[in-house]
Structure 1
């Protein structure tokens, strides 16, 4: 049995990350699978919904997405109840896949929300922190410990992980959503590592009081750090916007067995700038040859590789040593460098 949650709301005011003026917001959570995003965007294109902005996170086999749309014909937010019902029914079928639905929710409201804060809340409500990952996990998992500071009646939370943008935001949002108050904190970075310690209490002034609660805090903070982790090859699509563009691009990913682990969709005037992080179907780094084939299909000048996982560069260094075969000597490292050069990630082949 699998669970998904679908909700829809119309935003009238706001700015980037706080909702978008004159757009309808779709909230989706469910079981992640290869090609799911392609099916979602295909449904929206078929229903004449233009995707203006969107953010997609995946974690532990779950997906959460906020998609801001408008009607393709009128350019207005979607408020017609019959069309809303059609969107709900079609996306429900996509999200449930071949599995039964345990429960579903849909709301229509005028609320304005911070996009990334809302994504954390959606995944927290979906209890992604309790689920076992379906895709292969990164070896660089955050280390979280919780201990008592009895003299001051605080609970101390220590987080050690790779440093990145918005790390503090993600942790504090989660502590706040769990109804904890942060009284003091120390934050240090060394190289690419971050060391954060928070002294917290419940809203009623009491510290963490049980081992199950302690373990839940550890699970939730690990999830908060991991949700925004940039797994996979970073692809950037910058091109003229058109009806069905996202459906076409994500269908190409699906046809080449690429899984989208995170996505950011942004449209300004008639131009769209999208970021996709992709892996293979089980979470391993995508084959550079497949990435190259996808770029050729979508457009070499439109879809560019901006970031490769560290494993690609480590492989190039390991294979730098020349290998002799049948009296001929060649460098495997040079072959890897050639792939990196073709993908536009190094200046010259050397």
Structure 2
């Protein structure tokens, strides 16, 4: 039987199991004073825990506690969740979405695809790239896309352990939809590969073409894991999360424990990594009610065995440490909000580069014609970010367009906003389209 036929049989079998044992979701806002309790019961399958966690994470819900049990053929998980302000979930639209996404009518499915790709849909083309990190890399990538008349609609860029990975969704400037010209797609691959490769020959840099789409955050984890970003230099003495793996005596489980500073999406990052490393979570306990998060999982590899060797144990520890660290950003958080246009990202990141700022992480999104972008920046030479440089950049871009979250390390008092006009003239408008609030810089 061919591989594709095997997939068809497995899909049909999974559908049959779901029809016989449909998922059940119970949302309880009465039992606990400060949290909403979400219980999910379903027939068990590899990856279902990640699917559930992914839905909650995409809704920006905060998991305060979780209890996991999926031993045998049945999966049961209980989550205590709040919104980002620590309140119960009372929005009927959100509650209905959870029911539809996780209940009997849901059709979520995990993808284990690992290829780096340029993927086209009707609305945009998704470009996946990975290479060596260096100051100005995002500026160079966005300049190439602007030169090729591609508008960046959404993007997520991560850097970790000297490597950079990104998923960038672009549209064609002329049509406003996906890039479909094969020659143009080939040129995008070629030029971006050249930029990513730079002068480094020691590690691979690539883009490619694929035909499926994966959840952006999961795809970034997969790309960096496949790129082995978890391999640290021997002289790296940075403080690390506390991760331990031991085999449970007289039981066929390995017990994984994690202690680290809590932050949004931490649960997704650790579960995603265990699943993509081909480990099944049978039992688990998560507690993130304080500033420190504690996670404990009983796992086996999909071959049915617990961790077999010290080398395997060390690899699990390293990969979980990397998964936790990828989203923790060193640097100053800047938020930009203005009318979207082709070349906006290229112009902004060029200004960062010209002022010796390196982007350690970026989140770019477009909503109703408005660009809403978040950048984490640090000084390219390793010195504390200079507050005067930040203020100069804000004067250039527009003070109501670019906002600072927190205070630059070692900076002087930042001057009050002045009515100075943007040096870009008509390229930026001096109106703010967003309501900015104080956000933790490690989110």
Q: Distance in 1 between matches of 2:357 and 2:234?
A: 17
2:307 counterpart of 1:208: yes
Q: Distance in 1 between matches of 2:302 and 2:198?
A: 41
Q: Please state how far the C-alpha of 1:191 moved relative to its aligned partner.
A: 3.0
Aligned pair count? 307
**Which blocks of at least 5 consecutive residues in structure 1 are unaligned?**
13-21, 316-334
Q: Please state how far the C-alpha of 1:181 moved relative to its aligned partner.
A: 0.4
Q: 1:264-284 CA distances to partner (integer Å, 9 max, x unpaired)? A: 000123210000000111455
Q: Distance in 1 between matches of 2:124 and 2:159?
A: 24
**In the superposition, relative to structure 1, how do residues 101 and 212 fare at CA in structure 2: closer, same or farther (>3 Å)?**
closer
**In the superposition, relative to structure 1, how do residues 72 and 339 fare at CA in structure 2: closer, same or farther (>3 Å)?**
same
**In the superposition, relative to structure 1, how do residues 147 and 341 fare at CA in structure 2: closer, same or farther (>3 Å)?**
farther
The equivalent of 1:232 in structure 2 is: 331
The equivalent of 1:71 in structure 2 is: 172
Matched position secondary structure for 2:169? strand
**In the superposition, relative to structure 1, how do residues 283 and 145 fare at CA in structure 2: closer, same or farther (>3 Å)?**
farther
Contact 1:182-1:198 at 8 Å conserved across structures: yes
The equivalent of 1:49 in structure 2 is: 150
**In the superposition, relative to structure 1, how do residues 142 and 102 fare at CA in structure 2: closer, same or farther (>3 Å)?**
closer
Matched position secondary structure for 2:135? coil
2:130 counterpart of 1:29: yes
Q: Distance in 1 between matches of 2:406 and 2:239?
A: 18
Q: Distance in 2 between matches of 1:47 and 1:193?
A: 46
Tell me how large the CA RMSD over aligned residues is: 2.5
**In the superposition, relative to structure 1, how do residues 33 and 122 fare at CA in structure 2: closer, same or farther (>3 Å)?**
same
1:251 to 338, 342, 350: 350
Q: 1:129-167 CA distances to partner (integer Å, 9 max, x unpaired)? A: 014399x98x55211111111222211111111001110
Return 181-190 or 169-178, whichever deviates more.
Answer: 181-190
Q: Distance in 1 between matches of 2:270 and 2:121?
A: 27
**In the superposition, relative to structure 1, how do residues 52 and 98 fare at CA in structure 2: closer, same or farther (>3 Å)?**
same
Q: Please state how far the C-alpha of 1:294 moved relative to its aligned partner.
A: 1.2
The equivalent of 1:40 in structure 2 is: 141
2:341 counterpart of 1:242: yes
Q: 1:279-335 CA distances to partner (integer Å, 9 max, x unpaired)? A: 1114554121211111111111100002347xx4xx7xxxxxxxxxxxxxxxxxxx9
The equivalent of 1:339 in structure 2 is: 414
In the TM superposition, what are the counterparts of 1:98-117 in structure 2 within 5 Å?
98-100=199-201, 103=204, 105-117=206-218
Return 54-63 or 196-205, whichever deviates more.
Answer: 196-205
Contact 2:193-2:207 at 8 Å conserved across structures: no
In the TM superposition, what are the counterparts of 1:1-350 in structure 2 within 5 Å?
7-12=117-122, 22-100=123-201, 103=204, 105-132=206-233, 140-189=239-288, 191-308=290-407, 312=409, 336=412, 338-339=413-414
Contact 2:335-2:372 at 8 Å conserved across structures: yes
**Given the two structures, how large is their TM-score scaled by the length of structure 2?**
0.65
**Given the two structures, how large is their TM-score scaled by the length of structure 1?**
0.81
Matched position secondary structure for 2:153? strand
Q: Which has the higher contact order (CA 8 A, sep 6+)?
A: 1
Q: Please state how far the C-alpha of 1:168 moved relative to its aligned partner.
A: 0.5
Q: 1:81-108 CA distances to partner (integer Å, 9 max, x unpaired)? A: 1111111111112111123376565442
